Amino acid sequence: KWSVVESLPVHNDIKKRSGNYKYFIDQYKDSLINLAKNKVTNICYNFMPLIDWVRTDLNFELPNGSKALKYNHLHVCAFENFILKSKNAKLRYSSKQIFDAKKLLNSMNTKELSKLKMALLGGLAANDRKYSLKDLNYEIDQFAELNHADLQKNLCDFINEIYPIIKKYNLNYNIHPDDPPYNVYGLPRILSNEKDIDYLINIKKDKQIGLTFCSGSLGVNKKNDLPKIINKYGPYINFIHLRNIRHVGKSLDFYEDDHLEGSLDMVKIIKSIIIEEKKRKKSNHPIKNIPMRPDHGHTILHDKNTKTIPGYSLLGRMKGLDQLKGVIKTIN
């Protein structure tokens, strides 16, 4: 039986704490209760405003012929400044970045431009809608007055309002880190590093207000030491996503690599998780074995000829799962 749900989306009115947010919080409470009644008690969510996770290329071809997801910050700069023409976009980039972005845009053909627009207007699985340029600009403007501290406070207020339901029905409510862990379109990101996690935990200091540990999301931030994060916040980790990313030089760019390749030491990460689980078996922690899934996978073999959701091809994820299970078995 299922015990984990991913995700229970939080309406943007709740994140902004405006509009019909009170109504949507009441609806959210009902959803939590309905999940609990069906014994789905481990809940993943995120508090990323408007656009959730972002990639600029949904079919980046690797040397071995497989296809992956990629993020290119210059592509975002080009899109935001010259396609979306967002307000204040030029304030978020250096003059060199804007010059290079314009040059990049001029070099792109019609097909490349179309692919970029599709990716950034809602081509990913996590997005519940595809925006027009006009709609996206309008929605971004609704968050214009919201900064990092404001969004954190709105998260805190939201958790305080649903906390009685979480306790009454013995739920585990686990936030997913921001992906990528830096602002996009000027929208604040509030779960990208240890300081952000500290803020979350200090809202209630209760393991039921926990963390979805996503190695790929946290790993994009080069300052994050992932084994250290697991060791420090272990008791609060109630759900795990394991995937690898490859940093591209000194830039903010990255692509999703093979689960056992890339810039992250997956063996060390898994070792740290196993140590945490061993600690739990000697404690009263309610979740002894932390649910895990191979997060994303490359598009390989005959899945290339099948319509799949970017990042969620069957064969690539099953390959990743087997690789991760092999590491776990070897360590144990």
Residue among 77, 296, 298, 303 flagged as catalytic: 296
Rounded to whole angstroms, the Cα distance separating 1 from 246 reads 35
Does the annotation count 73 as an active-site position?
A: no
Residue among 28, 173, 196, 241 flagged as catalytic: 241
User: Hey, what domains does the chain have and what are their CATH numbers?
Assistant: 4-51+144-331 (3.20.20.150)
Residue among 196, 253, 258, 295 flagged as catalytic: 295
Closest C-alpha to 181, from 191, 195, 194? 191
Does the annotation count 295 as an active-site position?
A: yes
Q: Mind giving me the DSSP string for 67-134?
A: EEEEE-HHHHHHIIIIIS--TTGGGGS-HHHHHHHHHHHHH--HHHHHHHHHHHTT-STT-SS---HH
Does the annotation count 233 as an active-site position?
A: no
Does the annotation count 241 as an active-site position?
A: yes
- What's the pLDDT score for residue 129? 63
3-state SS class at 59? strand
**Mean pLDDT per 10-residue interval, the chain, length 332 residues:** 91 96 98 97 95 90 94 96 91 94 95 90 61 88 92 98 98 96 91 97 97 97 97 97 95 95 97 96 91 92 86 92 96 93
Tell me the per-residue pLDDT of 72-123, one tens digit each, with 9 for 90 and over: 999 999 999 999 998 889 999 999 999 999 999 999 999 999 999 988 887 5
- What's the pLDDT score for residue 309? 82
Residue among 45, 214, 233, 257 flagged as catalytic: 214
Beta bridge partners of 256: 245
Residue among 28, 45, 75, 176 flagged as catalytic: 176
- What's the pLDDT score for residue 130? 72
Is there a cis peptide before residue 227, judged by omega within 30 degrees of 0?
A: no
pTM to 2 decimal places: 0.94
Residue among 13, 157, 163, 312 flagged as catalytic: 312
Q: Burial code of 126-160, b = ≥16 C-beta within 10 A, e = fewer?
A: beeeebeeeebbebbebbeebeeebbbebbeebbe
Which whole-number Å values give the CA distances from 169 to 33, 138, 172, in the listed order?
7, 38, 9
Q: Pull the structure tokens for residue 74.
A: 């210059």
Beta bridge partners of 175: 45, 211
- What's the pLDDT score for residue 189? 92
